[in-house]
Structure 1
Amino acid sequence: MSYLIVISLSFFIYSCTTEEITPSDSQEEVDDSTDETEKPSNEVVDKEISLGNGQVFNMKYFMISINQILFNPSERKRMFMTHDIDKEGIINQSFWNFSYVGSFGNRVVTMQHSLDSKDVINSSTIEIYDTQITYEYIYDEKGLISSMNESAFGILVNRYNYEYNEKNQLMKKQNINNNVTYSFVYNTDGKIISLTEEFESIFTTYNYSYDAQGYLLSEKSNWNYKRDYKYDNQGRISESLGGTSAEYLSKYEYTDNQLTLKIYPPENSTNIYIRKDEVYMDKITNLKYFVYYYEEFAIKGLLNTKNKIDERQYFTNNNFDLKLVGNSKVDSRYRDGYGHKKQESFYNTKGDKIYVITYTEEGEFTYYKGDGTTKISKSDITEQWVLELLNH
């Protein structure tokens, strides 16, 4: 189980880009910065602290390595870190950022560092969707992070080992838990041009190309995946086109505090929806709702702070002119609100509760009338929109 989302945070982002390491939040400075793996910030204290057994801590090399190791390898091209550094040159907290989505990518996650009396960082924590994740570090003879343990809910979920070259660039990352190894190749500007993933003698290689300004133009893999990118006059991604078996077109629309991602399936796709919208507020990690548009209807899902769907709405669709027909609300979930639905209620446009459905964790349904006590069968549900929501 991996919490380095950010995540599928993929998650769910259909490809922004670059992995520049910079102390600035400015998008233009991110794009124009030089390779920070070779030139750490002069603001960070450069002092070795012996940890015994040939290991040392050095704030400068902590910053160099944490900038490279933390993110999922495939996300490094689009994510970077910034840091709060005090007047003593100590990093007190760090921030995760996404490139090429403007202010929507700034400081999406805050990382708090735990320092001992000698200002050695032994561990760090982040919180994503109310889940606390902890990282514990082991350092090499130079002060670079050589190993890291990742825990969630107090349980160890991943262990990693790292190797660097003479320029302090991360060359290899190994996940001990699942025996996956990642290898990196860089260009002269310090950008990743090749990433290879090895698992049980199966190799997947991604190649990246950039323009003269450092913008990611395309990525391709040896398994027929490819994606191309376009940008607006502010250096923000405006379009991406690609996929594995079929090419999906994604368009990005920006307003002051809202980013709308419109996804169009290929014309020959087996998908029956004609467009999917994802709407983010303030940050690329804050997905507020999504809408699937079909020829004659649309389904909207509203998310809560735990990134779970709270409500679904069903509309008729007349050329993207929507009219509400009914909605459902999740009354409860398993696992303190993080698990599968436990109970859901369905309402008509008057606000009348017309059905209640309960779910087991194994996926079995029990149907009730709106009173929540009178059992019925699925065949008793005559409203097509309710059936569509159940099947969606």
Structure 2
Amino acid sequence: MFRRSKNNSYDTSQTKQRFSIKKFKFGAASVLIGISFLGGFTQGQFNISTDTVFAAEVISGSAATLNSALVKNVSGGKAYIDIYDVKNGKIDPLNLIVLTPSNYSANYYIKQGGRIFTSVNQLQTPGTATITYNILDENGNPYTKSDGQIDIVSLVTTVYDTTELRNNINKVIENANDPKWSDDSRKDVLSKIEVIKNDIDNNPKTQSDIDNKIVEVNELEKLLVLPVPDKDKYDPTGGETTVPQGTPVSDKEITDLVKIPDGSKGVPTVVGDRPDTNVPGDHKVTVDVTYPDGTKDTVEVTVHVTPKPVPDKDKYDPTGGETTVPQGTPVSDKEITDLVKIPDGSKGVPTVVGDRPDTNVPGDHKVTVDVTYPDGTKDTVEVTVHVTPKP
């Protein structure tokens, strides 16, 4: 907001020690001009007179207009200065105005409360300040407008300080980048912090705005949370399988029985004793499921070992028989196998496999007979043929 000086009498009752008053004539108008001798001023450097608020970006006849290109510092006919920018040499009050013609110049002083500053670097307190510009022509003389008044304009300026806020932002960013926080909460906090940072870097604020944002940043830090361990997110289960006694079972066959939730990227590993499949019964095998974050779930896989079926040859006990024939009497295979006693239900089939008896030779002749069962197993027995000599 510009203020325009007018040709009013200047009250010196409170400023006798600070200013001298001189009266100059410009055209038909006379203007009281205060010349400061304190705080680094030199006589004739500044024109100081009473101000009247002029709420516009352009004062009629003035060579100065607000520099609206500085979007962070000029908005709505008002000026804004961030003390953080002052500390870092990023703000020059002369850049807040544009002079036309461009070969005109200006000097300024800043009034805040009862203090007057000759440099923006002296601003240290948030609040309201007034920057008064003395417009000088191309020769460095006070510029007189067409209405006969010296071109002196004042800019009401809101002064605020983002230093504390920026320090808090940096602390939150440093904390958020600690790998202990969950990725989602880190991304959420950092993205919201970036919005705040971009806002204060590019838009004018008041100290009240900044104080509110300090609270907002402090609350954002509370959104950082520790990640939920993978083992608490997922619930794998162990499976089971049945194998005959003596059938080997590999680790892969065991881990393939573990049901691992999709997306968990859990890796199963056998950590317990491997099952002894030579022993019938239920064998529990411990399996660890390890997740990308290093946490683990433990499940059990059950291997049911069924006993081997008892071979028919071990179930049954056939016996060989005997017969007596006179010398020279032939004996057929059927006659021999009919002498074998096969247990009922075994379905064993006898077959002569040994040498047939030579009944022309008196004596005892042993004949070998195999009994073959449905499962392919066999028992072997002997049949005795007694050959008696002819009378």
TM-score (norm 1): 0.16
Larger Rg: 2
Higher helix share: 2
Higher relative contact order (CA 8 A, sep 6+): 2
Q: Which has the higher strand share?
A: 1
